[in-house]
A = this chain, B = another copy of it.
Amino acid sequence: MFESAELGHKISKATYGMEVPKLREALLNAQFDLAQQARFPVIILVGGVDGAGKGETVNLLNEWMDPRHIQVHAMAEHSDEERQHPPMWRYWRALPPRGKIGVFFGSWYTAPIVERALGKIKTGELNQRIAAINHFEAMLSDEGALIIKLWFHLAKDAQKQRLKALEKDPQTRWRVTRLDWERYQQYDKFRQISEHTLRATSSAHAPWLVIEGTDARYRSLTAGRLLLEAMRKRLDHPVTPVPANAPPLQAAIDHLDLFGKLDMTQRLSDKKFAAELEKYQGRLNLLTRDERFARLSVIAVFEGSDAAGKGGAIRRITGALDARHYRIVPVAAPTEEERAQPYLWRFWRHIPRTGRFAIFDRSWYGRVLVERVEKFCSESDWMRAYGEINDFEEQLVENNAVLIKFWLTISKDEQLRRFKEREQIGFKRFKITPDDWRNREKWDDYQTAVCDMVDRTSTAIAPWIIVEANDKNFARIKILRTLCQRIEAAMKKLRQKSVPVTR
């Protein structure tokens, strides 16, 4: 990986002076076109050897371009808030929107490489992290991002000389720390692990570009040129999406689906409901006040047919909770800001920290439900979404989230009854719109999409709970009971592993 970056590349002052003005103008033009088109974001990852000029290059790019449209993220120590979220959360919230440039100085590559070099993880674990990175970058690329990965390299001798030179100069002495020299001692190890990682993550959609860092003029001009060419290429040649190898939307040939086997007649009398409600709300309230709750988070997802009673069920939960600890996230059409980001971004931003409770009224599953059925996204978009969602949920659960997904289902007849009722009762009229009637016409398509969703995303760590909701009493108690049971199970597990308290 580093052969061509150990040759002692150099650019003369004269050439540099001649080339920079042209490059700056071209970069500014590209940046302008990027903002105008607003079709894709540019994600620049900056990594490499200490002392190879990473920081200088990033500063220079900001100087050369319009810094208002570049966001630089120096990812060093985790903040308190970051530690209470899944590791990738900090990157998700920093992603640039379409039309902008985001520079990640120290990225999702830093931790795996450093931890492997320090012997904290083994090669197998490194390779699993590499696979996760490849998934993540493939998703970014599928969502349209232009990913430019720059690695600044120094040969071993060059690093030594560079650190010494920095130490000699009183103006830069402070920049060389003991950590830099410690890392230098482990140069060979770092080199070998970096090489392996870079090679295994160089894909056609996100190749690593290695730049020799010895000569400041060479590395600056090279970085600028590579950035310019990559942006120009994408600006001038739009990408068309590839169709998926997916089977078309269709029900099983015998028209039997998951819903065909449900007992939709299950009911609970009002009297029994009142007793059970009190019981489970009390239990839930106690659970959230248990000291172990501080080490968990709860994410409850509500999806279901129109008029299936999501709102009512959610109110029965929040009735048992302290308003300071929960948050309801109603998911409607994405905002302008959200549309400028990868699909899952709008959900990542609402992921609760530990000790909190988040309730999603509709969720990321919109991608494989309404967006699929209404063709708001391409077939390959929703086909790859199953895998992306599974990856996403795995990250939540690994971070001690109790993830509970409810699908509230009612019969087609019951839906009609409720629609009509809503139209007749004044205070419920706002709850019924022409959209509801339109969706109802696509009942079968939605049912097929729901079955596919359950088949492809009901996992051991985050199963779907199908709730028979023709009777509201029955549905609400089933939901509350499941919630309590799942939280209790998660707390029991906690006792077994030692997880640091971070609230």
Q: Footprint of B on A, CB under 8 Å? A: 1-5, 7-11, 124-125, 127-128, 131, 134, 141, 146-148, 192, 195-196, 199-200, 202-207, 209-210, 218, 221-222, 225-226, 229-230, 233-234, 237, 239-240, 242-248, 250, 252-254, 256-258, 260-261, 380, 383-384, 386-387, 390, 451, 454-456, 458-460
Contacts and interface: CB of A to CB of B under 8 A. Distances in A.
A234 B244 CA distance: 9
Nearest to A260: B7
Contacts of A247: 207, 209, 226, 229-230
Given A192-B460, A199-B390, A204-B387, 14 more contacts: A1-B456, A4-B258, A9-B256, A11-B254, A124-B128, A199-B387, A199-B459, A206-B245, A207-B246, A222-B252, A229-B248, A233-B245, A237-B243, A240-B240
Nearest to A19: B253
Contacts of A8: 256
6 contacts: A2-B455, A203-B383, A218-B253, A237-B243, A240-B240, A240-B242
Given A202-B386, A230-B247, A237-B243, A1 B455 contact: yes
B252 A9 contact: yes
Contact of A3 (B131, B210, B455): B455
A1 B456 CA distance: 5
A454 B7 CA distance: 14
A258 to B, nearest CB: 6
Contacts of A252: 4, 9, 222
Given A256-B7, A256-B8, A245 B218 contact: no
A383 B204 contact: yes
Contacts of A244: 204-205, 207
Report copies per complex: 2
Contact of A203 (B1, B222, B250, B387): B387
A201 to B, nearest CB: 9
Contacts of A147: 245
**Which of A1, A207, A209, A225 counts the most B-chain CB atoms under 10 A from its CB?**
A207
Given A7-B260, A128-B124, A203-B384, A248 B225 contact: no
B124 A125 contact: yes
Contacts of A146: 245
Contacts of A206: 245
Given A3-B455, A455-B1, A234 B245 contact: yes
**Which of A3, A222, A460 counts the most B-chain CB atoms under 10 A from its CB?**
A3
A4 B451 contact: yes
A4 to B, nearest CB: 5
A387 B134 CA distance: 12
A218 B254 contact: yes
Given A128-B124, A131-B131, A258 B204 contact: no
Contact of A253 (B200, B221, B234): B221
A202 B455 CA distance: 12
A384 B128 CA distance: 20
Contact of A207 (B1, B250, B383): B383
Contacts of A222: 252-253
Nearest to A215: B254
B204 A246 contact: yes
Contacts of A380: 204
Contact of A204 (B205, B254, B384): B384
Contacts of A134: 131
**Which of A10, A210, A244 counts the most B-chain CB atoms under 10 A from its CB?**
A244
Given A204-B244, A242-B239, A456-B199, A131 B124 contact: no
A4 B124 contact: no
Nearest to A226: B247
**Which of A242, A257, A384, A454 counts the most B-chain CB atoms under 10 A from its CB?**
A242
B455 A254 contact: no
Contact of A456 (B9, B124, B202): B202
B4 A205 contact: no
A250 B125 CA distance: 36
